[in-house]
Amino acid sequence: MRRWITIPTYNERENIGTLIQEVARTMPDAQILIVDDNSPDGTADAIRCLQRTNPNLHLHVRECKKGLGSAYVDAFRKLLREEEFETVTTMDADFSHSPCYLPKMHALAAEYDMVIGSRYIEGGGSQGWARRRRLLSASANSYARLVTEVPVKDLTAGFVTFRRSILEKLPLERIHSSGYAYTIELKCLAIFAGARAKEIPIIFEERREGNSKLSLRIIREGVYAPWYARSLSDR
């Protein structure tokens, strides 16, 4: 099974080298695609250095910062157009998604179209978050489930393995959100397309280095995204 793991980056030089090493150790046969939004801290240069010793490491640099959602859409389109593969996994660059879960996610992808690393099923959770952040995340997920009526506990999860067969069915051009809310739209599109989904418990960890990308604009986008995602079922 040919597997891809795609990781968007923006100013992640402090984290990305160690993360790539851990991903490669955990999944030695997987191909890793980094989508960098021309990070001013030199993230892309750090990745180019790592490419000298890792033939499975690939880099796609975009001209400017366009957001997480568009980074994943660009990655999906690039892989669907240029590569043969069976699965692709999305994950963050800051160690909030531990590579230790990758083998289980990919094993389950043999049976399911979408495998979600979930904080909101039994055994899952978050570590290192302030009470306010926990409340915000839990409330956002409850709100998204209520509005979309999609039976996924962690609709805002960014740690997901997709089968190629389900990605080929998705109208990726309908994903509008540029921030974390894209995760709601993408999962809803997959469910509306008939995806068989499976959630596994993970512990989401606070980033090791660098600054959080969460902003007021991203939170505001998350308020509107579930309503838009719900409308996708009628199109």
In contact, 8 and 93? CB cutoff 8 Å = yes
Dump pLDDT digits (tens) for 24-55: 999 999 999 999 999 999 999 999 999 999 99
CATH architecture entry for 3-234 = Alpha-Beta Complex (3.90)
Per residue in 156-165, pLDDT (tens digit) is 999 999 999 9
First to last CA, the chain: 33
- pLDDT band at residue 65, thresholds of 50, 70 and 90? confident
Give the relative orientation of helices 68-82 and 182-192 as an angle to the nearest 10 degrees: 40
Domain assignments of the chain as residue spans, ordered by start: 3-234
Taking 70 as the threshold, does the pLDDT of residue 139 lie above it? yes
